[in-house]
Every structure is written in C-alpha cells, then in structure tokens.
C-alpha cells in the first residue's frame, strides 16, 4: 500500500478509518453533507495533489466550509448587542374583552408561545453581563393573529422624550469614538457631558444610578413597556395602557462591589443563571400587568402620559395583573434564535395600537430599518425565530434570501384572476383585520405639525424627586455613591458641577452628598423650565421595599474541605431545597473533599474560581483541621470576606469560626449557625451592615 493510500485510510472522522466508517454507514442515523445535500466522505482533510502537494481548487467541500465560516458573523446590534433569551408561554388570567379585542387576551388560561430576550444596552456582544446599565426586556408573542412584540426595558422611563435625540444618546454613552473605550459603561466624559446638558435625562439617571441597573438576576428584575399604548375593544372603545412585568421571585439587586467582582469571576453570570435555572426546572416567571386609564384620567395628571420620561405611580393608578409568562425552554441554537431574533415595536395585533409618544413614533421606524441592515434582507421575517406561527400570506415577492415559493401569477391587487380559474391570492379582512384607532390622542390634541414639545413635557425633575423620596436610606446611599463614582471618571471639569446643579432640583441632600464625594463646593442650582412639585412617595419604586425574604430561585454556596461533616452538609442542602433554592458545593479541589465518614463529595466549583459573589448566601461547613488549612488560603478568606461585604447571610458551624474571624466577620442578624436561623435569613441582604463596611456618599 502506498503512503498516499495509507493517509486516505488512516484519518477518518472521529479517528476511525474510512473502511470502518463505511461498514458503520448502514447503522448510522445522520450523514454529514454539504449544503447541497451531497454526502461528505472526509471532513478532516482537504483535497491535495499528492500527499504533500498543493490543495486543489476543485475541493468544493473545503471551499463551501471555509466560505460559510468566513460569513458566520453578522453585524451586532448597535445597542442591546449582548443578550440572553428563552422560549416560553404566556397565559391570560381572564378574558380582557372589556379592554381589547386582541385574540391572545380573550380566553382564560390559553397558552401563547413567546420568545423573550434580555440584554444590556451599552456594551458589545462580547462585553460582560453585570455592568451598571439598563436591561432590555423584549417579548415576542406568537399569537393566532400574528406576532406582537412588546419591546421594553427593566426601567419604566427613558433618557429622552423625542426619538430624534436617540443617536446622540447612543453616541454619547458608547465608547468614545477617538479611543474606543470605555466599553459597556457610562462613567466617562461624553455621556455625562451630554446628560448634564439634557435636564430631561434626570429622572432616568436616578433609576440608572440606583440598584435597578445592577440586577442580581434576569429572573429578579421588572420589565416595562415604557410608552403609553392603546388597547381597543370590539366596540371600538380605546383605553390607554402601560405594561408592567413583575417577577415571581421578587426584585433583587447586586452590591456595586459584588457586580465589579462578578465581571472578573464570571462574564456570563446572568446568561448562565438564566440557562441553568431553566435547565434545572426552576422556570422563571413574571406576571403581566397593565395600568389602564382613559383620556379624562390622563388630562387630570400633572404630567403628560405621552412623555416617556414619566411614570404613573402605582399608588395613583394600581397595576391590574392580567396574565403570567413562564420561560421553560432554552434556545436550541444561540445564533439562529437569540442572535437572529428581530423585535420591532411596530409589530402589533388587532386590539393593540400606538399613541403619539414621540419616542415611540421614532422607534416604529428605527427598529425595522435596523433589522433589515443587521440581517441583510427584507425577508428576515422568514427566519424561523421571527416567523409567525399563524398563516402568513401577501403579495410581497422576491428579495434576497426569499424562502417561500409563491405559485401563480397573482402578485398584485386588485386582480380578477380568480374569475378566470386562477388563484387570485389573499384578500383584505375589513372586519377582523388591524385598523388604526381613528380618534384623537391624549387630551384631544391635534393641529398643525410643529417641531415643539407639549408644555407638560418641560417638567424634568418632579418625578426624579419622587423616585429619590421613595427609596430606603440604603438605596439613596447607593444612588449618591453611583453618581459620585460615575462623575469621578469625568475629566471635563465643568461637567460634574453642571450635573450636580441639576441634581439640586431633585434634592439638595442628594446634590450635597455627591458634591462632598467629589470634593467640590455645592454648585448653584440650575434653573428648571417648569416648577418642581412634590409628589407622594411610591413604595413600588423601591427594590428594598419589594424584596421577598425567600430562598426560592436562590443559590446557596456551601464551602467544604477534607474532614467536613457529610450529615451537616446534607442537612443544609435539604433545607435549602425544601425552601425552593439550589446548593452548589465549593472546595479547594474540583474533585471535592473527603468527608469525616470517609465518603467523598464532589465539588460543583473550585474555590479559586468560584467566589461567593456567585451565590445569594453561603454556608461554611468545616472541621477544625479543614478550617486551619483554609486560614492559609487567600481564596477562602476572600470567599467569606466578600460574602460579608456583600451583605449576605453566612451560616457556619463552630469549627469554622476562625475563618470568619480572619475574614473580619462581625456578628449581626445575618451571621448564623447552620440550622433554621440560616434558612430563615438566607434569602435576605442585611443593609444595616453596609455603613460599617464602606464609606457611602
């Protein structure tokens, strides 16, 4: 046998010879083929002229494989580039025929498929999961009447009132154009220069500098439609609505130091958390609620409901819960689904309609234009993740990547081809089809087309003050500290003073704390365009006031070492799981640790690469010898120190006390044993501990 023939036989897929592969072909279920369906005999070696000769151009298997690889990446989203998503379903609690004729809201309990994507805004696709940033919250409902995309954020307001300012916002917050940094962060000159000159950003900045911008988990954050939309019922009656998503697990946030350390410990913390929760059956769930109101109610409010920088506090108008969303299946392929999914606020169904919100109106154009640019074709709606699950037919034809094969001559209307025995194509549905609500908008305002904003849009500070006054003392400290941190990164010396001057319109205490943190004299208050009014505080705006003291959906890290008590470990694990949580074992070695009884418990994570910021609470179960060994492990001391510093519950047996002492742990209600006291405390953060640990603004 020649060397050339030997090389052909020697290397086959999976290391077997092609002779062996041929023998197994009859039993194999899948065949490797080209994109044309031609079976491939060798996917490991290119075709050459002789054993050491040049590669031949006729090797169509090589050419197709390399060609496709060269074009695997598509342009990433300009904003919301880094995202994670999941499949699931939506179920209405009752018929909403009083509000809307939309089919998905007509029958109690009927499941509607959804695909939901969460994202950061400022960073690129390769950035980290846990920066201080707004989070996108986009839901695609595959209804019987077509796709409805509810495309919002985890914050109910936005930076700007008019879409014409959106390019300026994104240019300012993205990495600076001359130096291409910083990535995925607003703590730099251009953003704060722009924001300080735009008082309408103030309310959003309060939210963005709060703990809302550093969520513990995608499963533990709220979502909002931001804009005022309409619902229209079968009788043609219009009702204004604002959409709210409320997480079943309640809200939870990170501590800022914890968020920073997670960027080093696990760039994919939120993505991994979502994936693992679904994979292990802990399906994330939200309730969908609406604030429904009419024009008469809107006219009485001291702000304009078409202003996307404003909310209607829940104490003024309660949220009516209308259904639930459960995410119960991870994507099969990240690129095909999560990356190629195309959301567009213009995708609505009969019974839902727009308002004249100037930011929403711009989004209706921008998203469609963006999707065509990203996905390279007007036929992006035919990609499976974007395709409706109901019949779809029209006279649109051809275009790049056309997947449908329309038959017949009918590609125009009106036509009379059906009169001659030919298919005439689809026809309009005057009764059941979508029709735009014909009435006037809020307060009946119509008239000449002007480049102006309504008078009520000019109040940029009242709701920012409302947000500040609604927070707990700890949350206020976090907001002040966040402004201080962000502005400390600004090198343009006039910007911090200007921004703090704006904050004086929110609250002088806030402005003073930020000025003190910056080490500058309290600047003069900027002059607001409208009178700032005091509004009644809203508990619904506070994370801390709405946190659930529960283990459900939480993860507890159990630190063990050789000699640990297996019974104690099992007891903690059982109690946590009974409370709805999950446990992960952490040990110095990934192989685990040998217990006191001789059994070996395999670790879920190695101590050096599994810091405590990955968990909601920690339990330390050590023997005296194991504890002494870990006193010399910097990672072990840091594990405990960070859990304490991040205000988490630490449960420990008596033998582990020296490790707690070395980590500087001081007794409080969050430092417990391993029994019921640990389980009762493990779902909480202990905010009273924070002032003892770090200086806050």
Mean predicted lDDT score pLDDT of the chain: 92
- Report which of residues 5 and 457 the model is more confident about: 457
What integer is the mean pLDDT of 445-468? 86
pLDDT in tens, 217-234: 999 999 999 999 999 999
Asked if residue 51 lies in contact with residue 3, where contact means CB atoms within 8 angstroms, the answer is: yes
Task: Tell me the CATH class for 473-544.
Answer: mainly alpha
pLDDT at 413: 81
**Residues constituting the chain:** 697
Percentage of the chain modeled with pLDDT above 70 = 94
| Cα 348 from chain centroid (whole Å) | 22
What integer is the mean pLDDT of 543-565? 96
Backbone angles phi, psi at 455, to 5 degrees: -60, -40
What is the DSSP secondary-structure string of 172-218? HHSSPTTT----S---SHHHHHHHHT-GGGHHHHHHHTSGGGSBS-G
Asked if residue 410 lies in contact with residue 417, where contact means CB atoms within 8 angstroms, the answer is: yes
Asked if residue 687 lies in contact with residue 474, where contact means CB atoms within 8 angstroms, the answer is: yes
Domain map (residue ranges) of the chain: 3-70, 83-171+212-382, 473-544, 549-692
* Short-list 617, 689, 694, 674, CA closest to 648: 617
Tell me the pLDDT band of 361, cut-offs 50, 70 and 90.
Answer: very high
Asked if residue 152 lies in contact with residue 134, where contact means CB atoms within 8 angstroms, the answer is: no
What's the pTM value of the predicted model, to 2 decimals? 0.88
pLDDT in tens, 19-71: 444 444 444 568 888 888 889 999 888 888 988 888 888 998 888 888 888 88
Cis peptide before 227 (omega within 30 of 0): no
**3-class SS shares of the chain: helix, strand, coil, % to 5:** 35, 15, 50
Tell me the pLDDT band of 446, cut-offs 50, 70 and 90.
Answer: low
Lowest mean pLDDT among 194-198, 409-413, 516-520: 409-413
Confidence check: pLDDT of 1 > 70? no
In the block, tokens 């992960």 appear at 584
| Cα 444 from chain centroid (whole Å) | 36
Q: Which two tokens stand for residue 333?
A: 């392929």
- Annotated active-site residue 80? The verdict is yes
Q: What is the DSSP letter of 182?
A: -
pLDDT at 21: 46
Percentage of the chain modeled with pLDDT above 90 = 78
- Pairing assessment for the beta strands 285-293 and 320-329 based on DSSP bridges: antiparallel
pLDDT at 696: 92
Asked if residue 383 lies in contact with residue 82, where contact means CB atoms within 8 angstroms, the answer is: no
Q: Which two tokens stand for residue 443?
A: 């307060």
pLDDT in tens, 263-322: 999 999 999 999 999 999 999 999 999 999 999 999 999 999 999 999 999 999 999 999
pLDDT in tens, 133-146: 999 999 999 999 99
Lowest mean pLDDT among 435-439, 455-459, 626-630, 647-651: 435-439
pLDDT in tens, 385-394: 999 999 888 8
Q: Residue 567 and residue 541: Cα distance in Å, rounded?
A: 43
- Annotated active-site residue 45? The verdict is no
Out of 370-374, 441-445, 495-499, the most confident range is 495-499
What integer is the mean pLDDT of 119-147? 96
* Catalytic pick among 43, 45, 71, 80: 80
CATH of 549-692 given 2.60.40.420, 3.40.50.2300, 3.90.180.10, 3.40.50.880: 3.40.50.880
What integer is the mean pLDDT of 182-204? 96
pLDDT at 378: 87
Q: Residue 451 and residue 576: Cα distance in Å, rounded?
A: 59
Return the bridge partners of 153, or none. Answer: 136, 224
Q: Write down the architecture of domain 83-171+212-382 according to CATH.
A: Beta Barrel (2.40)
* Catalytic pick among 87, 147, 153, 460: 153
Tell me the pLDDT band of 447, cut-offs 50, 70 and 90.
Answer: low
Out of 31-35, 354-358, 463-467, the most confident range is 463-467
CATH code of 3-70, in short, is 4.10.91.20
Confidence check: pLDDT of 9 > 80? no
pLDDT at 450: 75
Asked if residue 232 lies in contact with residue 433, where contact means CB atoms within 8 angstroms, the answer is: no
Lowest mean pLDDT among 197-201, 283-287, 447-451: 447-451
């Amino acid at each position: 046998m020649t060397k050339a023939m030997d090389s052909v036989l020697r290397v086959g897929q999976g290391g077997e010879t092609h002779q062996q592969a041929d023998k197994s072909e009859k039993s194999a279920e899948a065949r490797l083929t080209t994109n044309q369906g031609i079976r491939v005999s060798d996917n490991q070696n290119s075709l050459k002229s002789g054993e050491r000769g040049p590669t031949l151009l006729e090797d169509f298997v090589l050419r197709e494989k390399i060609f496709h690889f060269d074009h695997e990446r598509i342009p990433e989203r300009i904003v919301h580039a880094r995202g994670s998503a999941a499949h699931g379903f939506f179920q209405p609690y009752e018929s909403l025929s009083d509000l809307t004729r939309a089919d998905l809201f007509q029958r109690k309990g009927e499941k509607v498929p959804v695909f939901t994507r969460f994202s950061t805004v400022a960073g690129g696709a390769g950035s980290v999961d846990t920066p201080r940033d707004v989070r996108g919250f986009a839901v695609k409902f595959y209804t019987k009447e077509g796709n409805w995309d509810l495309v919002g954020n985890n914050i109910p307001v936005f930076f700007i009132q008019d879409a014409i300012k959106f390019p300026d916002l994104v240019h300012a917050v993205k990495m600076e154009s001359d130096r291409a940094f910083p990535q995925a962060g607003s703590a730099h000159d251009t953003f704060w220069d722009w924001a300080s000159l735009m008082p309408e950003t103030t309310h959003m900045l309060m939210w963005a500098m709060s703990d809302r911008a550093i969520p513990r988990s995608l499963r533990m954050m709220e979502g909002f439609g931001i804009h005022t939309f309409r619902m229209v019922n079968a009788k043609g009656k219009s009702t204004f609505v604002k959409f709210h998503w409320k997480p079943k697990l309640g809200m939870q946030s990170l501590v800022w130091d914890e968020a920073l350390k997670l960027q080093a410990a696990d760039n994919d913390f939120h993505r991994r958390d979502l994936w693992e929760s679904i994979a292990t059956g802990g399906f994330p769930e939200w309730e969908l609620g609406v604030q429904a109101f009419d024009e008469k109610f809107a006219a009485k409010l001291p702000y304009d409901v078409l202003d996307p920088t404003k909310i209607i506090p829940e104490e003024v108008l309660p949220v009516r819960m209308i259904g639930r969303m459960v995410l119960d299946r991870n994507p099969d392929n990240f690129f095909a689904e999560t990356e190629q999914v195309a959301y567009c606020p213009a995708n609505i169904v009969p019974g839902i309609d727009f308002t004249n919100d100037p930011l929403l109106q711009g989004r209706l154009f921008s998203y469609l234009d963006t999707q065509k640019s990203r996905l390279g074709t007007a036929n992006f709606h035919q990609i499976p993740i974007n395709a409706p699950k109901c019949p779809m037919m029209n006279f649109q034809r051809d275009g790049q990547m056309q997947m449908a094969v329309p038959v017949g001559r009918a590609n125009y209307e009106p036509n009379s081809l059906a009169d001659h025995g030919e298919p005439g194509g689809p026809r309009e549905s005057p009764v059941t089809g979508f029709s735009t609500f014909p009435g006037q908008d809020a307060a009946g305002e119509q008239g000449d087309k002007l480049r102006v904003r309504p008078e009520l849009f000019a109040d940029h500070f009242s709701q920012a003050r409302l947000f500040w006054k609604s927070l707990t003392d700890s949350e206020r400290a976090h907001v002040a500290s966040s402004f201080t941190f962000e502005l400390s990164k600004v090198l343009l010396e006039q910007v911090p003073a200007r921004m703090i001057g704006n904050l004086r319109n929110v609250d002088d205490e806030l402005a003073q704390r930020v000025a003190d943190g910056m080490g500058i004299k309290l600047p003069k208050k900027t002059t607001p365009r409208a009178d700032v009014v005091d509004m009644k505080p809203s508990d619904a705006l506070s994370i801390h006031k709405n946190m659930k003291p529960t283990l459900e959906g939480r993860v507890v890290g159990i630190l063990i070492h050789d000699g640990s008590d297996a019974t104690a470990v099992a007891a903690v694990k059982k109690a946590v799981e009974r409370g709805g949580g999950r446990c992960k074992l952490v040990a110095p070695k990934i192989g685990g640790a040998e217990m006191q009884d001789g059994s070996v418990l395999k670790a879920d994570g190695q101590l050096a690469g599994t810091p405590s910021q990955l968990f909601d609470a920690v339990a330390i179960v050590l023997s005296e010898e194991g504890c002494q060994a870990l006193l010399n492990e910097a990672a072990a001391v840091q594990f405990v120190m960070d859990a304490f510093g991040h205000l988490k519950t630490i449960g420990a047996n008596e033998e582990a006390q020296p490790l707690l002492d070395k980590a500087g742990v001081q007794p409080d209600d969050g430092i417990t044993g391993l029994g019921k006291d640990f389980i009762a405390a493990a779902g909480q953060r202990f905010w009273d501990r924070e002032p003892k640990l770090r200086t806050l603004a």
